[in-house]
Amino acid sequence: MPETLALSWRQYRLERRMFWRNPSAAFFNFVLPLLFLAAGGAILSGSQRDLNKLVPAIAGMSVMSTTFTALAYNIVFLRERGVLKRIRGTPLPTISYFGGVAANAVTNTALQIVIVVAAGRLIFGIGWPPHVATLIVFVLVGVVCFAALGVAFAHAIPNFESTAAYVNAVFLPVVFVSFYVFDSSSAPGFVRTIADALPLTPLIEGLSSAMVAGAHTPSHLDALAVIGLWGVFGLYFAVRGFSWEQSRT
């Protein structure tokens, strides 16, 4: 067991090193959400109410992009390039490999949340998060859920060239519908029903209650239950459907 952990740690360090050496990964993880934040902030700068909505929404999107998007890209790339197959032929325990990969995603998410929270405090005047423990719980549950969904989704992507299309076909609609419902109390009923059943809306609502003093707080348990169910669904297919090599057809 200590050896498994030590190998996880080594894999984690390798993942970190590779992350910082890959400018496009760093861009997608850090710069893109900040650009959204800046653009949204410029448009909504007149209204503190809107800014209070914007910052947690971007935080939720960041959780999804640093886990779901990043992992789906990464897994498909490594699978199609034959890196996963090579790793599979070594004595590196599967759990150590995924431990390192998951820890890498958690680190990226944590860094991203820190950046968004700091930007919220320093630029958009929404104060430090009043409920740090709630923030940590939602970020962690969100990471597990979206990381599992990202790994599971990688299985549906047939080749690296189509990864962007597949990932965006899920990422963009989920982000739009969740932002819309989170922001607008006049969203049509069926849209709200769909959004509430997806994991991003409850995540954003949970983050909002943790990050913004006096934010309307829906039931945390309901929110965590929805995210958790998606997480279980994702984990099941991540493990069951995982493929270590390019399909032979």
Partner 1 sequence: MSETPAAIEVSALCKRYGDYEAVRGIDITVQRGEVFGLLGPNGAGKTTTVEILEGYRARTSGEVSVLGQDPANRSIELRRRIGIVLQSGGIYSHITPREALRHWASFYPHPRDVEEVLDLAGLREKADVRSRRLSGGQLRRLDFALALVGDPELIFLDEPTTGFDPEARRAAWETVRSLRELGKTILLTTHYLEEAQALADRVAIVKDGRILAIGPPRELGVGAAHYRVVYRGRDGELVELQTDDPTRLLHELAGEALERGESLQELSVARPTLEDVYLELTADA
Residues engaged in binding partner 1 (CB under 8 A): 7, 10-11, 14, 17-18, 21-22, 78, 81-83, 85-86, 88-93, 245
Cβ closest to partner 1, residue 48 vs residue 243: 243
Instruction: Report the amino acid identity of residue 84.
Output: L
Q: String of b and e for 143-167 (b: at least 16 CB within 10 Å)?
A: bbbbbbbbbbbbbebeeeeebeebb
Cβ closest to partner 1, residue 49 vs residue 81: 81
- State in angstroms the smallest separation of the CB of 87 from partner 1: 9
Cβ closest to partner 1, residue 107 vs residue 134: 107
- State in angstroms the smallest separation of the CB of 38 from partner 1: 28
- Element spanning 54, H or E: helix 48-64
- State in angstroms the smallest separation of the CB of 18 from partner 1: 5
Cβ closest to partner 1, residue 78 vs residue 147: 78
Residue 66 in tokens: 């640093």
- State in angstroms the smallest separation of the CB of 248 from partner 1: 8
- State in angstroms the smallest separation of the CB of 19 from partner 1: 9
Helix pair angle (70-81, 132-154), 10° resolution: 30
d(CA 142, CA 203): 7
The Cβ of residue 168 has, within 10 Å, a number of other Cβ atoms equal to 12
What is the residue whose two structure tokens read 């910052």?
55
- State in angstroms the smallest separation of the CB of 3 from partner 1: 9
Q: Give 114-177 as a DSSP string.
A: HHHHHHHHHTS---S-S-HHHHHHHHHHHHHHHHHHHHHHHTT--SGGGHHHHHHHHHHHHHHH
